[in-house]
A and B are shown apart, each in its own frame.
Chain A
């Protein structure tokens, strides 16, 4: 037991593999225990997790805001439907194609975005999110893309080995969950390595990073490509789960919801991305339940989730800049410190190494999400390890 823990502590890859396997087992039991409706919700949370995790890497770790991830999801979804419709590839290849084509779109957007900062970048990606879905209505493309009604997809058939009565929703949620776990696994390894380190460096101080030999522009393009591929996979999974790709499914508010999700989850935290995606799925359900029980009109019920996201974006940025995951980390850190103090009152060598990292050296700029986002990750090497295992 001790050696297993030791291996996990030393090797990031082993730890992430273990976490991915544990997640797959947990999701297997979860999806088989619940009904088709919940399965569908889990599938939705899973494909949103892909997109939110991609955006977390770009915005949280790279400091590049993107309001265009809804459009990337649209690219992925349309690719998936077109590939299935024209060539009938197997599902795994279809989803890989969705991620691949979106990555190519990411190269184009990334090349533009790498030159832009702050509000200019936000405005350009906003135009991308508003402009791209309109292409589906362009006359020469309507035959191919189905216009306003979009394209439908034949739902994937569960393998015969699972039995005659195996529900379709469960199969869809398995596909989506597997996609989400793979995405998180790959992104998790990526951001713990050289790529993540240089990306954080370029976010915190672009000029210092460039002076240290980091090719900032190229790095940002790579980050956009990675992020776009994750969003494209999310879009492809959306098409498989919803069996539809239509421009109405990718409004500007979808991109803004993804932003809300990364803010709620805590900028730059991949576990936070899961939180954010779960909230995006469960807030609308909760709002419609609330509306039926208290007799609100349809208008209120359908707009309540958006209102909540808007309020949360404002309130979190103003008052609680580290998001849900950051809050959990704070609580976890406080509990652990108290436990450690009780265990060895005299500060041993272990306590002294983790001391400075947990006491937030740059406490003055607490209220900035892009800098606050740095802290959980920078802390991850010393103080965060035990906590990550516990999760």
Chain B
């Protein structure tokens, strides 16, 4: 029983990180109908920037700030330069361009920092808390991870629901033509949407870095996990992305604990295929008709 609780706790911790990556994908999918396959590369790159701050003797918090800020900038630049021309084009074009970005980011990181993975320090101790004499698989750092993702999600919700800017962001995602007629600068809103998504992604990168290490190819599986979580949630729903992330995190934690930790990515593949076979548009979306 303790083992089950421990695995669930570990699953929740990794699940919130998956949820953050999924949220980054969902934000972009909602506004531009593009799955950002470059997300894995983008969060890898910003995490590397944070790592070099720490490597030069900077504090953890400075590094986190650098990662988030560079995420914002990177997202905005990528949207303006590479993604804008393929918006509203056949989906295959966007898939290929984002894959190209992914490859380019991975290669640039390899050129700058080398291919060997580096360790990344956690913000707090990763020694598990004890409750009534049993040590749980939940450390202060895990609590920080959960808290950080929850805080960012809360802020994003406030931004989208309570502010004028959020209304404009939602309007340009929901009906770009009408929003433009109402005076919303839709292009600017799309850029901002990408920047916000990249910010969430870069947070996920820094939070997961202590357990996966920092290297050009270390975050490939994060993209798969994030995509799987987003698809479980239905790609269109931010709340679904969070639930999908938590479900996937727990499922993979059980796979890792009861079967083998080498089967985790394979488990994600199995989960993704199962969901796509049963409900190809995710668990949380109403079924829609296809226009002929």
Contact = CB atoms under 8 A, between A and B. Distances in A.
Q: Do A and B come from one complex?
A: yes
A299 B111 contact: yes
Contact of B276 (A120, A126, A259, A310): A120
Contacts of A65: 92, 95
Interface stretch (B56-64, B133-141, B218-226): B218-226
Contacts of B269: 127-128, 130-132
B99 A256 contact: yes
B93 interface: yes
B103 A310 contact: yes
Interface in A109-137: 112, 115-120, 122-124, 126-128, 130-132, 134-135, 137
A131 B262 CA distance: 10
Contacts of B96: 259, 263, 313, 317, 369
A126 B223 contact: yes
B27 to A, nearest CB: 15
Interface size grouping (class) on chain B: 35 or more
A24 interface: no
A134 B220 contact: no
A118 B108 contact: no
Contacts of A120: 231, 276, 280
A260 interface: yes
A149 interface: no
A292 interface: no
Given A112-B273, A118-B91, A253-B106, A138 B292 contact: no
B245 to A, nearest CB: 15
A300 B103 CA distance: 14
A127 B268 contact: yes
A173 B9 CA distance: 54
Contact of B103 (A128, A137, A309): A309
Given A67-B99, A259-B99, A310-B100, A115 B280 contact: yes
B111 A307 contact: yes
A269 B90 CA distance: 19
Contacts of A123: 35, 37, 224, 227-228, 231, 272
Interface size grouping (class) on chain A: 35 or more
B224 A370 contact: no
B280 A116 contact: yes
A305 B103 CA distance: 10
B262 A314 contact: no
Nearest to A315: B100
A12 to B, nearest CB: 28
A78 to B, nearest CB: 15
B153 interface: no
Given A299-B114, A369-B93, A307 B104 contact: yes
B93 A130 contact: no
A252 B220 contact: yes
A172 interface: no
Which secondary structure characterizes the binding site on chain B? helix
Contact of A371 (B90, B106, B262, B280): B90
B277 interface: yes
B277 A317 contact: no
A66 B90 CA distance: 16
Nearest to B29: A119
A124 B224 CA distance: 9
A307 B100 CA distance: 9
B217 to A, nearest CB: 7
Contacts of A369: 90, 92-93, 96
A131 B101 contact: no
A307 B276 CA distance: 33
Interface string A9-41: 000000000000000000000000000000000
Contact of A134 (B89, B114, B266): B266
A287 to B, nearest CB: 11
B266 A131 contact: yes
A314 B104 contact: yes
A131 B92 CA distance: 23
Most chain B CB inside 10 Å of its own CB: which residue of A65, A304, A314: A314
B35 A318 contact: no
A304 B108 CA distance: 8
A131 B99 contact: no
B92 A127 contact: no
A368 B37 CA distance: 19
B285 to A, nearest CB: 12
B35 A130 contact: no
Contacts of B85: 318
A260 B103 contact: yes
B105 to A, nearest CB: 8
Contact of B89 (A116, A117, A260, A368): A368
B260 interface: yes
B274 to A, nearest CB: 10
B167 interface: no
Given A303-B111, A305-B107, A306-B103, 8 more contacts: A115-B277, A122-B35, A131-B268, A256-B103, A259-B96, A302-B110, A307-B103, A313-B100
Closest 9 CB pairs of A and B: A313-B100, A310-B104, A310-B103, A306-B107, A307-B107, A131-B269, A119-B35, A303-B110, A118-B91
Interface of A: 63, 65, 67, 112, 115-120, 122-124, 126-128, 130-132, 134-135, 137-139, 207, 251-253, 256, 259-260, 263, 299-300, 302-307, 309-314, 317-318, 321, 367-371
6 contacts: A122-B37, A123-B228, A303-B110, A304-B107, A305-B107, A310-B107
